[in-house]
Structure 1
Amino acid sequence: MSATSSWAAQDINLRVGDVKGDRIVALRASGELENLPYKLTIDTFASGAPVQEALNAGALDVGLTGDLPFLFVYAAGAPVKAIDAWKNNPDSIALLTSQHSTIHSLQDLKGKRIAVNRGGWGHYLILGLLERAGLKPSDVTLNFLGPVDGRAALASGAVDAWAPWEPYVSSAIIQDKARLVPQGGGQGIMSGYSYVLARETALSDADKRKAISDLLTRLAKAQVWAKQHPQQFAEALAKELQFPLNVTQAWIADAQVSPVVFDKSIAATLQQSADFFHGYKVLPKAIDVAPAFDYGLAEGANQVAKQFLATSPKAEATP
């Protein structure tokens, strides 16, 4: 009670940004946004890059986004650290083509035009898939587009393939009749991790730090609730994000979001990604990602994750 009173007295307001709002929807639908001892101002974005931009500009205290966009702002010196993570099914990041496309294998990508988000999951996936197919980046033409423009480009025939993530994968398959390219999933290529990020100015404020730690615990509890109540979560997503219910149901089933224990093993996966991107000169310089992590706020969230994983031993490993 004293902590709650202190936060209320200080009138703490955490400015939070989320991609497409699904984590925020889980917080709200699970009841974890009730009786907050601080204020939340929430904005949603179409992809991770604008979340990073808002964090870097000081418009957000906390941002929820994929792991890879973080590499570039961190490498550029942005005052942001990763403070928690969750995991998506790596195959929920996938290469799509149109219904009547001539692409029926990864080898068929040679000479094709492919839409990806520069420096993000799609970009990383296609480089990994080209390796898998024995092709080089020069064998294809990459069109750097955000997810909304990438979907439109595939639907119009302006590109031959597109590498999105959920919910764009399910939306394109169900609504546009797009199809997965065989072996075009992220298993074996993508880490599947997404991060909670925070500005260093927020982390250096003792009261905000306490509030952020509380928010991380609530996020983990909300993820467990969503995992255990997929139909209720799908209905909440459909209502709040104005998506068709069959899309949100497919999205949840494909993404399989689970809480994880936030420790140095998470940093190891980001280091591998940094080295991979640097090898292709997408990341202009080699970086050590170890200083990019602050493990001190996730104690409560880690307890939730450990309990969940102990009772659902296949939760994190299920692709």
Structure 2
Amino acid sequence: MTLRVGVHPNNLHLQLAALTWPDRWPANVPDVAFVAYREGRDTGHLIAGDVIDVGGTGSTPPLLAQHDGVPLVYVAASAPRGANGAIVVRGADAPVDVSALAGRRIALLDGSFHTSFLAAALEREGLSLRDVERIELAPADACRALDEGRVDAWIAMAPWLSRVRVEFPRWRVLTDIGAYVPNRSVFWAHRDAVERHRASLDAVFSALSALGQDVANHPAPYAERLANAGISGADAASWRTSLAARDWQLHACDGVFYAEQQSEADLLHRHGDLSRALDIRQTVPSAPLNFSSAASTR
């Protein structure tokens, strides 16, 4: 039975897996079909609609999916990525700190990890999501909007952060994400799919772990693949900087991870983006995946 793995441009682990399948994958990986889609916020609908079996996003989309009644379970998570997101402002007339964002227009991908990041940063200053105007913009449009002064701040992520530092030297990072949320990549599936595909998921995530190890050791060829595929419109140099800075480890979900997800769910509930409280214990699989990264994909 084919395991259907969802792929979108903002999950680099799965995007690189799709770009290198099957020529750089171990022979023991079972039948896999990569299903491309536009963005991570669609993952819950695709899992609920039986279009994909498993996908990867930031930490926020599965919380929204659980809130909507999707019977999901978590299967793996990346290491924390505290340098992969930041609130960026334009120049001398921009907000000087997070507290100065009150009443301002913030460009972001709402419903992604951007929302939780913004909520956590505002809450630390005694503010809430209701105190800012959230402007839904794709990264390229958000970059233009900030440059033209149509928004006051932008939640940017890799590889755009690398480009900002080169192309817009007068812009400032107001704060990095790492001070507020762990910002892991999170891999999740329909509960029924985990029971049907457990052996396949173990093999695939072992291969993904090894792939990540190879990217960490040799980022240049993978940066070329992403650039040649047109992912995020970034060139190979920008991608190489982003890939080299990333922690590529994958882990089975543990108590620390579930506590993080519960804390984020409670945060979004306090800010009104979740209308009811969630119990993250409902997303624990009957048995954890058993995967390793012992082999290299090279």
TM-score range normalised by the length of the shorter chain: 0.7 to 0.9
The residue number in structure 2 matching 1:199 is: 190
**4+ residue segments displaced more than 6 Å:** none
The residue number in structure 1 matching 2:49 is: 57
Gaps spanning 5+ residues in structure 2: where? Answer: none
Matches of 1:124 and 1:43 in 2, distance apart?
27
Secondary structure of the equivalent of 1:59? coil
Shift of 1:73: 0.6
Matches of 1:29 and 1:229 in 2, distance apart?
14
What CA deviation, in whole Å up to 9, does each residue of 1:213-254 have, x standing for no partner? Answer: 210111111111112222333233223345301210222244
The residue number in structure 1 matching 2:237 is: 246
The residue number in structure 2 matching 1:78 is: 70
Q: Aligned pair in 2 of structure 1 residues 150, 212: CA closer, same or farther (>3 Å)?
A: same
Choose 243-252 or 139-148, whichever is displaced more: 139-148
Choose 186-195 or 249-258, whichever is displaced more: 249-258
Secondary structure of the equivalent of 2:156? coil
Q: Which amino acid aligns with 1:204?
A: E
Of residues 271, 277, 290, the one that matches 1:299 is 290
RMSD: 2.9
Give the fraction of aligned pairs with identical amino acids, expressed as a percent.
22
Aligned residues: 291
> 8 Å contact 1:47–1:146 — kept in the other structure?
no
Q: What is the 5 A alignment of 1:100-111?
A: 102-111=94-103
Secondary structure of the equivalent of 2:178? coil
Choose 224-233 or 147-156, whichever is displaced more: 147-156
Of residues 162, 165, 184, the one that matches 1:170 is 162
Q: What is the 5 A alignment of 1:1-319?
A: 12-20=1-9, 22-27=12-17, 29=20, 32-35=24-27, 37-98=29-90, 102-147=94-139, 149-174=141-166, 179-182=171-174, 184-205=175-196, 208-241=197-230, 243-294=234-285, 296-301=287-292, 304=293
> 8 Å contact 2:84–2:157 — kept in the other structure?
yes
Secondary structure of the equivalent of 1:232? helix
Matches of 1:49 and 1:101 in 2, distance apart?
33
Matches of 1:155 and 1:88 in 2, distance apart?
30
Matches of 1:45 and 1:149 in 2, distance apart?
20
Shift of 1:147: 4.1
What CA deviation, in whole Å up to 9, does each residue of 1:98-123 have, x standing for no partner? Answer: 35652333243233210222232111
Shift of 1:136: 4.2
Q: Which amino acid aligns with 2:63?
A: L
Matches of 2:35 and 2:60 in 1, distance apart?
20
Structure number with the higher helix fraction is 1
TM-score by length of 1: 0.79
What CA deviation, in whole Å up to 9, does each residue of 1:269-319 have, x standing for no partner? Answer: 101111111111111111110121227352123xx38x99xxxxxxxxxxx
The residue number in structure 2 matching 1:8 is: none
Matches of 2:241 and 2:192 in 1, distance apart?
38
Q: Which amino acid aligns with 1:190?
A: V
Matches of 1:16 and 1:178 in 2, distance apart?
41
Q: Which amino acid aligns with 1:154?
A: L
> 8 Å contact 1:105–1:181 — kept in the other structure?
no
> 8 Å contact 2:75–2:252 — kept in the other structure?
no
> 8 Å contact 1:94–1:185 — kept in the other structure?
yes
Shift of 1:257: 3.2
TM-score by length of 2: 0.84
What CA deviation, in whole Å up to 9, does each residue of 1:185-229 have, x standing for no partner? Answer: 112311222211112232232xx2211221011111111111222
Matches of 1:138 and 1:262 in 2, distance apart?
32
